[in-house]
Amino acid sequence: MSVQQTEANYAQLFPGQVTNALSMNEVLVNAKTRWDEAYASLQRSALLQGQTVDNIGTDTGLLKDAMARSQGATGALDAAQAGNELTALGVKQSLQLQGLLAAQARAQTLQQARDLATEDEARQRFTAFVGTGTGYTPAN
């Protein structure tokens, strides 16, 4: 997802100021939309974690093969090629780790933003319910 798409989605899900004019149905729809996005983000993170775990077995096999070729290299070209394969495997694993960390951080960020938005809505609803804070004063 691009930075612009992320900014647009974030602004829609978590507006800077919640209006008191929202109906209860709109509040529920907004809360459900935020929950759905947080859930989907956690699901994407879990799927990426699963893919990363699945790749460990494949990568272990590739590492063993590259190490065996490196140890059995008979010339400079063979040794260089085995070194290139080991480097490429390291880069692949680094990119997988970066993707995993980004997905987890995004899920945590969405969850925290969802919590803050819910608190802000609740605070505004409470203020609207209580009003100015001046309680009932019985007349004599």
Compute the distance between CA of residue 34 and CA of residue 113 in angstroms, rounded to an integer. 9
Which residue, among 14, 92, 106, 30, has the nearest Cα to 55 in the 3D structure? Answer: 92
Arithmetic mean of pLDDT over the chain: 80
Domain borders along the chain are 23-121
pLDDT of residue 135: 62
Per the model's pLDDT, the better-predicted residue between 128 and 47 turns out to be 47
Long-range interactions of 32-36: CB distance < 8 A, separation 24+: 34/110, 34/113, 34/114, 34/117, 34/118, 35/114
Per the model's pLDDT, the better-predicted residue between 25 and 91 turns out to be 91
pLDDT of residue 117: 81
Compute the distance between CA of residue 61 and CA of residue 44 in angstroms, rounded to an integer. 26
Per the model's pLDDT, the better-predicted residue between 101 and 20 turns out to be 101
Helices 76-130, 24-71: crossing angle, 10 deg rounding: 170
Percent above pLDDT 70 for the chain: 86
Q: pLDDT tens for residues 23-32?
A: 777 777 888 8
* Of the listed ranges 35-39, 42-46, 110-114, 123-127, the one predicted with least confidence: 123-127
Q: How many CB atoms lie within 10 A of CB 66?
A: 19
Q: pLDDT tens for residues 18-74?
A: 666 667 777 778 888 888 888 888 888 888 888 888 888 888 888 888 888 778 878
Which residue, among 112, 118, 119, 121, has the nearest Cα to 41 in the 3D structure? Answer: 112
Compute the distance between CA of residue 67 and CA of residue 64 in angstroms, rounded to an integer. 5
